[in-house]
Amino acid sequence: MAYPAYAQRARDISPAPLVADLDGLIWFGSGDAYPEILPDLGDVALRAAREFRTETLQYAPRGGLPELREWIAGYLAADGIRLTPDSILIVNGAKHGIELACKLFLDPGDAIAVGRPTYQSALGIFRSWQIELIEVGGDDDGLDVAELETRLLERARTGRRAPKLIYEMPEFHNPTGVTLSEARRRALLDIAERHDLLILEDDPYRRIRFEGQPVPPLSSLDGGGRVVSLGTFSKLLAPGIRVGWVAAAPDIVGRMAALKADGGSCPFTQRMIIEYCRAGRFEPHIAAAAKAYASQRDVMAQAVAREIPGARFRLPSGGYYLWVRLPDGIDTDQLLTSAHTHGVDFLPASRFYATPGPRNYLRLAYSYAPPTELMDGVRRLGKALRQSPPRP
Amino acid sequence: MAYPAYAQRARDISPAPLVADLDGLIWFGSGDAYPEILPDLGDVALRAAREFRTETLQYAPRGGLPELREWIAGYLAADGIRLTPDSILIVNGAKHGIELACKLFLDPGDAIAVGRPTYQSALGIFRSWQIELIEVGGDDDGLDVAELETRLLERARTGRRAPKLIYEMPEFHNPTGVTLSEARRRALLDIAERHDLLILEDDPYRRIRFEGQPVPPLSSLDGGGRVVSLGTFSKLLAPGIRVGWVAAAPDIVGRMAALKADGGSCPFTQRMIIEYCRAGRFEPHIAAAAKAYASQRDVMAQAVAREIPGARFRLPSGGYYLWVRLPDGIDTDQLLTSAHTHGVDFLPASRFYATPGPRNYLRLAYSYAPPTELMDGVRRLGKALRQSPPRP
């Protein structure tokens, strides 16, 4: 039997488990929210179901509920992003926005530029579109834009296709935690303009800042309509709510809406968010969340320094993750197997590189586990590490 | 400026309006639910937000909540569909399932077979995948499977690519309202087996039956794993809830899960459905809904017979729509403009044909408007028609 005859893009993709089997493990793998700060959405859920029943239980407008698009426009304006609501499309989380950008812009064989390392879920989506991934390194100031330009010029010289998009998480990068400096942001926009590229700016952690001053978003500095920006309530309110947005020029957003196969996203959860934000509960919640994650970061950072000799990491000023470098020779894919037997989960370096890269990094999420588990999990990790000596 | 450089699939797609401007019109266009029978989900929303907070506000398992997948397996078993929960993937409505089937199975240049006419939203999704659409006609027994086989043999003879999928809505077809007979279903499965095709069975209206006996779903008759079946709570509970499912062989479902860019669908609305169904409210709701839609159908059918001389239609035994044939020479695209000035909206024939077809049909949804508006809207339509004489 020839069937199932999968499309080219699906032939190398393994079936995903429908439910991850992580029972009994301490979770440092996933960017779930800290359970204690999940908001009480009971009253807004009740209002969505009762007062707004004929709105929330019918099909929503394709672009999303207008009131939510207006609220988001106001939210973005506070960051200097001047967009009208017709530039805002509601989607099912920022990953859905990445998918729509791929569908709108990318043909098989096209190229996009990504950081090295970069967000593992974005990589998964990009891989499913059969495109070439051009990896660009970085340092403490974020993506190395000079390297990016060198790569672009080199490709032009050798007749290779220019990338259509640059995917970047400029604020509290996942996994590295680094924030792209303002000078680099301006340089990146300049490169995009000169080389005729679009920037896909993925900015979920912006408001989860523990210290220091925020840097203007790429979309606030964008004079040429080159930035397609992604936001989400996943990291602002709750991951499970599955409401995010794309902010871009109206003709881009309108075409994404046309390609959005589900029609309008769920109006029920959109209405819950509108009522929550309008009641003035958004800002206090964000402030409490940032405070909680700062404390979580400190607990985990101290535990890593104490329990894992030789571990090195930057202390991130925001976001959910520590990106930890272990001594050379450690293979974190192998370490993961051993860590599971010790009762702790994390994401190994290999998940974050488009092509094979260093193996001695791992991403530890401090977002989800309570402080006692942060300490216990890091201790278990240290134990797993001591029992997995580096390869010779 | 070369940008935005849209992908091939997006170049012919016009931006979609983010909000449809149908204010003040009587709505016969969209398959929204009858507002009076929208369920009260207040208590289950409250429980989802409070009792299940740490489940509903965190990321869900990629396949969906296991309890919902189990409930769906039981629901399908009542129709003779024997599937374990590892064959069921939760998606954001059935259209999302169509999109995932396209992504999993279709390369540019591939072909799929569809009815002539067929569901307009499915057509929109198929068109965005740059594939060839092979249209097959039908009659009172549904899709003309003999014509399908003739087309397949002709393509084989002339060296053209066989379709990979057949898309079919066998029960209360949208827009025609026709149900595919059991004999034709068996013949269709036989053709799929002999010609090595998959069937994408889209079955949203099955339980909205007004009279007569249900016909076994294709997936219940499928001995060879050839059916990928789509279901949704949109037509069972509420369109806005955006929860549907794909039921297929586990390796198909697992690969769709891997391609599902949003990770897991919204656990909040999934939990609302679980609690609603477990409380024994699902069956009484469906019975009430079918009764309401039967009455709606009768009101509209009588109004069309009375107000639109020359209109012909089959009285559907279920579903949401009348598929009305107007006298030859009427162009329903033109009629729509005139109907809007008379205050009524509908979908013209052109939306349902992959290639230009008859223009003198229209789809009237009786699902949404209250009885007085059903009568008033059809009256307005009659008036618009009298003022738009047939082309010479």
**How far B267 CA lies from chain A's nearest CA (Å)?**
6
Judge: A32–B56 Cβ closer than 8 Å, yes or no: no
Chain B partners within 8 Å of A46 (Cβ): 42, 45-46, 49
Say if the Cβ atoms of B33 and A58 lie within 8 Å. yes
Q: In chain A, what residues touch B11 (CB-CB under 8 Å)?
A: none
Among chain B residues, the shortest Cα distance to A56 is held by B240
DSSP class of residue B86 equals G
What are the residues whose beta carbons fall under 8 Å from the beta carbon of B318, sequence distance 6 or more? B171, B172, B177, B179, B205, B206, B208, B209, B210, B290, B293
Specify the pLDDT at position B1.
40
- The torsion angles phi and psi of A230, rounded to 5 degrees, stand at -115, 135
- For the cut 90, the answer to whether the pLDDT of residue A279 exceeds it is yes
- CA distance linking residue A142 with residue B142, whole number of Å: 59
Q: Is A158 on the interface with B (CB under 8 A)?
A: no
Residue count of chain B, please give it: 392
Q: Which residues of chain A neighbour B95 with C-beta distances below 8 Å?
A: 261-263
Nearest to B99 among A242, A249, A261 (CB): A261
Q: What is the pLDDT of residue A392?
A: 52
**What is residue A209's DSSP assignment?**
B
- Cβ contact B37:B292 at 8 Å: yes
Query: Exposure of B362 by Cβ count < 10 A (0-12 exposed, 13-18 middle, 19+ buried)?
Result: buried
Q: Per the CB < 8 Å rule, is B10 touching A255?
A: yes
Give tens-digit pLDDT for A89-105: 999 999 999 999 999 99
Q: A96, A122, A98, A128: which is closest to A265 by C-alpha?
A: A96
Radius of gyration, CA atoms only, chain A = 21
ipTM value, please give it: 0.97
Q: Does the distance separating the beta carbons of B55 and A41 come in below 8 Å?
A: no
Say how far apart CA A295 and CA B247 lie, in whole Å.
44
Quick: pLDDT tens for A109-162.
Answer: 999 999 999 999 999 999 999 999 999 999 999 999 999 999 999 999 999 999
Beta carbons of B51 and B278 less than 8 angstroms apart: no
How far apart are alpha carbons B383 and B385 in whole angstroms? Answer: 5
Report whether the peptide linkage leading into residue B389 is cis, meaning its omega lies within 30 degrees of zero: no
Residues of B with Cβ-Cβ distance to A49 under 8 angstroms: 40-42, 44-46
Cβ–Cβ contact B120 with A under 8 A:
no
Whether the Cβ atoms of residue B339 and residue B326 lie closer than 8 Å to each other:
no
B interface mutation test: which of A3, A9, A13, A18 has the most B CBs within 10 A? A18
Is the pTM here over 0.95, yes or no? yes
Extended strands (E) in chain A: 26-27, 88-91, 111-115, 132-136, 138-139, 142-143, 165-168, 198-202, 227-232, 244-247, 321-325, 344-345, 347-348, 361-365
CA distance B78 to chain A (A): 24
Residues of chain A contacting residue B103, judged by C-beta atoms under 8 Å apart? 7, 9-10, 128
CB contact under 8 A, B241 and A196: no
The Cα of A386 is separated from the nearest Cα of chain B by a number of Å equal to 32
Nearest by CB to residue B7, choosing from A1, A60, A105, is: A105
Q: Which residues on chain A are in Cβ contact (under 8 Å) with B241? A: 57, 266, 268
Going residue by residue through chain B (392 aa), what tens digit of pLDDT does each one get? 445 689 988 888 889 999 988 889 999 999 999 999 999 999 999 999 999 999 999 999 999 999 999 999 999 999 999 999 999 999 999 999 999 999 999 999 999 999 999 999 999 999 999 999 999 999 999 999 999 999 999 999 999 999 999 999 999 999 999 999 999 999 999 999 999 999 999 999 999 999 999 999 999 999 889 999 999 999 999 999 999 999 999 999 999 999 998 879 999 999 999 999 999 999 999 999 999 999 999 999 999 999 998 999 999 999 999 999 999 999 999 999 999 999 999 999 999 999 999 999 999 999 999 999 999 999 999 999 998 765 55
Residue of A65, A80, A100 lying closest to A277 (CA atoms): A65
Whether pLDDT at A389 is above 90: no
In the predicted structure, residue A1 carries a pLDDT above the cut 50? no
Contact A163, A111 (CB under 8 A): yes
Question: A92 to chain B: which residues are within 8 Å by CB?
Answer: 92, 262, 265-266
Q: Which of residues 213-272 of B touch A (CB under 8 A)?
A: 226, 237-242, 249-255, 257-263, 265-269
Looking up tokens 């066989």 gives B162
Q: Which of B334, B344, B357, B379 is nearest to B123 (CA)?
A: B357
φ, ψ for residue A272, nearest 5 deg: -55, -45
Residue type, B154: E
Q: Which residue of chain A has the CA closest to B192? A: A3
Decide if A128 and B259 are in contact by the 8 Å CB cutoff.
yes
| Res A10 pLDDT > 90 | no
Query: Of A369, A366, A207, A204, which is closest to residue A288 (Cα–Cα)?
Result: A207
* Mean pLDDT rounded to a whole number for chain A: 95
B10 contact residues in A (CB cutoff 8 A): 103-105, 255, 259
| pLDDT for the residue numbered A390 | 58
Q: What is the mean pLDDT of residues A38-44?
A: 98
Beta bridge partners of A110: none
Banded model confidence at residue A224, pLDDT cuts 50, 70, 90: confident
| Phi, psi values for residue A128, rounded to 5° | -75, 0
Taking the CA of residue A390 and the nearest CA in chain B, the distance in Å comes to: 33
* pLDDT at residue B390 in the model: 57
Quote the minimal CA–CA distance from B85 to chain A in Å: 10
Structure tokens at B7: 């992908």
Q: Which residues of A touch B123 (CB under 8 A)?
A: none
How many whole angstroms from its chain centre is CA B198?
18
- Please report which confidence band the pLDDT of residue A388 belongs to, taking 50, 70 and 90 as the band edges: confident
B200 bridge partner residues = B167, B228
Please check whether residue A95 is in contact with residue B266, taking contact to mean a CB–CB distance below 8 angstroms: no
Q: Kindly identify which residue of chain A lies nearest to residue B233, measuring between CA atoms.
A: A57
Q: Interior CA angle at A84 toward B92 and A215, to 5°?
A: 90
B43 CA: distance to closest CA in chain A (Å)? 7
| Residue B283 at interface with chain A, using a CB cutoff of 8 Å | no
Shortest alpha-carbon distance between residue B392 and chain A (Å): 36
DSSP B368: S
Give the distance from residue A296's alpha carbon to the nearest chain B alpha carbon, in angstroms.
18
- Residue of B14, B164, B267 with shortest CB distance to A258: B14
Nearest to B7 among A9, A66, A104 (CB): A104
Other beta carbons less than 10 A from residue A336's beta carbon: 20
Single out the residue of B384, B268, B255 nearest to residue B332, CA to CA.
Answer: B384
A66/B19 touch (CB, cutoff 8 Å), yes or no = yes
Q: Is the per-residue pLDDT at A32 higher than 70?
A: yes
**Closest chain A residue by Cα to residue B254:** A15
pLDDT at A387 (0 to 100): 87
Nearest to A58 among B9, B96, B240 (CB): B240
CB contact under 8 A, B3 and A107: no
Put simply, the chain B residues between 53 and 82 with a CB less than 8 A from any chain A CB are 53-64, 66, 69
Alpha-carbon separation of residue A219 from A145, A168, A186, A302 (angstroms): 17, 12, 11, 35
DSSP-derived 3-state class of residue A243:
coil
* Residue B306, min C-alpha distance to chain A (Å): 30
Inter-chain contact A50–B30, Cβ cutoff 8 Å?
no
Of B57, B128, B240, the CB nearest to A33: B57
